[in-house]
Structure 1
Amino acid sequence: MFPSPMTVLTGLPKEKMLSHYRLRFEAPCVLQNNREIVDEKTGVTNYFTGLFLCRPSGQGKSMLIVRFGNTRGSPLIKLFPKWYFHQNACKVFEQDMGFLSSQNEILMKEKVPTKELYLNLKSSDTWVVEYRKWMDKVGHGMPYHFGHGTIWLPQEPAVVEHAPAGLVAGISASSPAKGGIGTMHAPNFSNRYFRHVIHCKGCRTVVKAFEAWKKGLSAVAVALTALAILVSGRQWKTILLVSAALCSGGAYACSKAIAMNTTNFIRTHRRL
C-alpha cells in the first residue's frame, strides 16, 4: 500500500459552521473522502463520507464500486428517486472515462510513461500521479503497468468481443473505451446501460417500468386519435385529441427517462 493522506481545513461563513475535510488514497484502488461539519450554534457534528473501490475486471476494464453516507440529509433529496442520482453519478464518471481511456490508448501507441507525455498538475491530478508513482514501485511484479516514470506493455492486446456479429458489433468493439453508441442490443461495456443498469437492480427495474409505460401510453394515444377521427361531435374530438396529446407527452417523457439511464454523456463541443 502507498497511502497518500491529505487534510484540508475550510470554513463556511454563510452557514456559520466549521468544516474538516480529509481525503485518503490507498493504492491501487481505494479512495476515501470524509468531511466533518460542526454547527457552531448547536455544537452537533455532522459526518459525510464517500468510499470508492475499484477492482479489475479484465485487460483495460475495471469495476468501480461507490458508497456514500451522511448523518445530515437534505429533505430535498427525498423528492428525487434514486435512479436520478445514479444517472448523474454515471455522467460524472463518464466525463473522466473518455479522457483516461484516450490517455491509455496514447500510452499504448507511444510506448512511453506518462511523465514523458503529460504535465501532471498536482492541483488537479494528485491521485492519478500518486497511483502512477506507486506503479513505478510495484509494477515489475504485474503482467503490465503504466507508471509515472516506467512502463511495461501487455504481451497480448485486449480482445473485445461483447457484441453480436454484424456492423453494430464492429463499431462497438473497435473502440470500446470511447463511449457507447446508444444501442441497447450491442453489449458494449462502455455503454451506460451495460456498464451500470444491468448491474443495478433499482435502475434495471425503473428502465423496464418506463419502457412498459411508454408502450402503453403510445398505444392509448393511437387509440384516442383513431376515436377522435371516428366521432362526429366537436366537443368529443377536442377531448380525445387533448387526451391523446397528453398520452404522447407522457410517452415522450418516458423515452427521455430511458435515455437518461442508457445514453452516455457527451460533452457539448463534441455533439456536433
Structure 2
Amino acid sequence: MILETKKIETTPKNSTFETLESQSEFDWRKCWYPVCFLQDFPINRPYRFSLYEEPFVLFKNTDGQIICLTDRCAHRAARLSDGQIIDGRIECLYHGWQYGQDGKCLHIPQLSKEAKIPVSACVSSFKVIERQGIIWIWAGEAEAAVDELIPTVPDWDKPECFNLDYMRDLPYDQSYFIENVIDPAHIPISHEGIFSDRTEAQPLEIEVLESSHQGIRGRYRKTKKPNQPWQLLDFVAPNLVLYRLGNGEENRFLGTALYSIPLGRNRCRILVRNYSNFFDLKTKLMPPWLDHLITRNKVLEGDLQIVVEQKAQIERLGKKLKELYLPLKTSDTLVVAYRRWLDKYGSSLPFYQGFSTAQNIANSEDNKHLKTLDRFSQHTLICNSCNQAYRLTKRLQQSCIGVAIAFAAIAILTDTSGIKIAAVSTSITLIILAVMAQRLKTQFEDSYTRHE
C-alpha cells in the first residue's frame, strides 16, 4: 500500500466538486461531457463527434442555438454529419431527410405533400450547454440534466482572467490520458527542454485528501527545498484534472484545466486550458496558432508516443496494473488513487482500465493502422486557428510559386535588361517566400519527437 487516504468533512472554497446530496454513486450517463471549445465550433456546417463509440452531431438552428442529435438518419442509417444545414435543420446527404432541434424528421422529399411523416422518423436529441467557452452535452435524458454538475473553473469567470486553449484527439483511452496528467512527477523528465528541466526531478510529498464517486481531491509539493507551497491537484469525475498552482500571493492565480471526452476505444479528445491573471503582454497578443506551434503541440507530443507504447505493453502482457506497476509513494500516489477509483466506481463505464480490474479493453493490435503521431488530423483539422493559418499558408505558398513562374517567364521573354533583372529578382524572392511558407506548413503537419 502506498496510499493514505484522508477524508475531510467540508468542501473547500472554489472547489470544483459538486455537493448534491442526492447523487451517491457514479453513473457515466448522468454527466456532462466537453465536446469542443466554442471558438473551434463551425458556424455553417455540422460538427461530428462520438462518446464511447456512440455517434453524435452538433449544428446550429436559425436562432443560433446549438443542437445535438444522434448522428444516424432514421431512414437508412447514413451519417447526418455528412449532410448540410438548411434553414436551421440538418439534412441527410443520402435522401434529403431533414431533422429539427428535437430530433423529429420535418421533411422527406420522397413523400407527397399530403402524406404524413411517420412518427418513428426521428432520432434522439440531447441537451447542450455552452459554459465558460466550452460546449457541453448531457449524455442521459435531457430532463435529468443538472447544470450545476458542469465542472467549471471558478477563477475563469473573473474579469482579469486570461486563458490559452488547446484541443487535440489522442489515440488512446481517456483513462491513460488522466493517469498521465494526474502525475506531476513525470514533467521534469518527459517535458525537459520544453517547459521544464530534469534537474527539477525530485521526491514529491503527495496526499489524497478525499476520494468519492465525485472524484479525487489531492495536493502535492516539492521537497528539495524546505517549506514549499502545496499545489492543489483534483480529478473531477469523469472528465477533468485540475491543477491550481500557488505562488504565495493571494491576488494572483494560475491553473491548468485538462478536460477530456472518451470518443471510443483507444480514442479520446482533450481540451487543455491554461488560465491566469498575470500572463505577460507578449503571451496575450500571440495568436493561438503560433502558441500551439511553439509550445502546446510539443508538450502533448512529448507524452503521446510514450503513453501509446505503455498501453501496448500492458495489453500485450495481459496482466493487471497492480502486477505490472512498481509505484512510489513519492511520485505515484495520485496515479494509483485514480486507477483504484476506477476499480471502485468504474463499473458503469463501457470500458476502463483500473488498478486490479478492467472492462472491455480493446487490444492495441486493432489500432495498428493508426498513425499515432499525426499533428495534422489530431489537431490542425479540428483547431479553428491552426486550420485557418494552415490554409492561408498553403494558399500563400501556391500563389508565390505561381507568380514566381510568371516573373521567370517575363525574364525569359523580355529583352530589356532592367525588366529582366527586376523580374528575376522578384521571382527569386517569391521562391524564397514559397520555401518559407512550405516550412511553416509542415509545422502544422509534422509532430515533434524527442530524438529529432
2:317 to 110, 129, 132: 110
In the TM superposition, what is the alpha-carbon distance from 1:120 to its structure 2 partner?
3.8
Are the equivalent residues in 2 in contact too, given 1:53–1:65 (CA < 8 A)? yes
1:69 to 275, 290, 294: 275
C-alpha separation in 1, matches of 2:450 and 2:277: 34
Unaligned runs of 5+ residues in structure 1 are 11-17, 161-172, 180-190
C-alpha separation in 2, matches of 1:226 and 1:255: 23
| Structure 1 counterpart of 2:287 | 81
C-alpha separation in 2, matches of 1:61 and 1:145: 12
Q: Which amino acid aligns with 1:30?
A: L
| Structure 2 counterpart of 1:168 | none
Q: Which amino acid aligns with 2:232?
A: R
Partner-residue secondary structure (3-state), 2:253: strand
| Structure 2 counterpart of 1:3 | 216
Unaligned runs of 5+ residues in structure 2 are 1-213
Are the equivalent residues in 2 in contact too, given 1:221–1:244 (CA < 8 A)? yes
Structure 1 residues 21 and 158: CA distance shift in structure 2, 3 A: closer
C-alpha separation in 1, matches of 2:414 and 2:316: 68
| Structure 1 counterpart of 2:299 | 92
2:354 to 147, 151, 160: 147
Are the equivalent residues in 1 in contact too, given 2:219–2:230 (CA < 8 A)? no
Are the equivalent residues in 1 in contact too, given 2:315–2:363 (CA < 8 A)? no
For residues 196-215 of structure 1, the aligned pairs below 5 Å read 196-215=379-398
Are the equivalent residues in 1 in contact too, given 2:315–2:364 (CA < 8 A)? no
Q: Which amino acid aligns with 2:352?
A: H
Give CA-to-partner distance per residue, 1:104-134, whole Å, 9 cap, x none: 1122211112343343455555543332222
C-alpha separation in 2, matches of 1:240 and 1:261: 32
In the TM superposition, what is the alpha-carbon distance from 1:53 to its structure 2 partner?
0.9
> Between the two proteins, what is the percent identity of the paired residues?
23
Q: Which amino acid aligns with 1:26?
A: V
Partner-residue secondary structure (3-state), 1:51: strand
C-alpha separation in 2, matches of 1:251 and 1:118: 50
Q: Which amino acid aligns with 2:269?
A: M
| Structure 1 counterpart of 2:442 | 259
Structure 1 residues 125 and 212: CA distance shift in structure 2, 3 A: farther
Partner-residue secondary structure (3-state), 2:234: strand
Partner-residue secondary structure (3-state), 2:448: coil
Partner-residue secondary structure (3-state), 2:381: helix
C-alpha separation in 2, matches of 1:2 and 1:52: 14
C-alpha separation in 1, matches of 2:263 and 2:341: 20
Give CA-to-partner distance per residue, 1:186-230, whole Å, 9 cap, x none: xxxxx2222222222222222111111111111111111222222
- The higher-RCO structure (CA 8 Å, 6+ apart) is 2
C-alpha root-mean-square deviation of aligned residues, in Å? 3.1
In the TM superposition, what is the alpha-carbon distance from 1:246 to its structure 2 partner?
1.7
Are the equivalent residues in 1 in contact too, given 2:233–2:243 (CA < 8 A)? yes
Structure 1 residues 73 and 20: CA distance shift in structure 2, 3 A: farther
* 194-203 vs 49-58, which moves further: 194-203
> What TM-score results when the alignment is normalised by the length of structure 1?
0.73
| Structure 1 counterpart of 2:414 | 231
Structure 1 residues 61 and 129: CA distance shift in structure 2, 3 A: same
In the TM superposition, what is the alpha-carbon distance from 1:256 to its structure 2 partner?
2.0
C-alpha separation in 1, matches of 2:283 and 2:334: 29
C-alpha separation in 2, matches of 1:240 and 1:125: 64
Are the equivalent residues in 2 in contact too, given 1:133–1:149 (CA < 8 A)? yes
| Structure 1 counterpart of 2:245 | 35
* 141-150 vs 220-229, which moves further: 141-150
State the number of aligned residues. Answer: 235
Bigger fraction of residues in helix: 1
Partner-residue secondary structure (3-state), 1:64: strand
C-alpha separation in 2, matches of 1:19 and 1:105: 37
| Structure 2 counterpart of 1:56 | 262
Partner-residue secondary structure (3-state), 1:218: helix
C-alpha separation in 2, matches of 1:2 and 1:38: 27
| Structure 1 counterpart of 2:372 | 178
Are the equivalent residues in 1 in contact too, given 2:404–2:428 (CA < 8 A)? yes
| Structure 1 counterpart of 2:402 | 219
| Structure 2 counterpart of 1:128 | 335
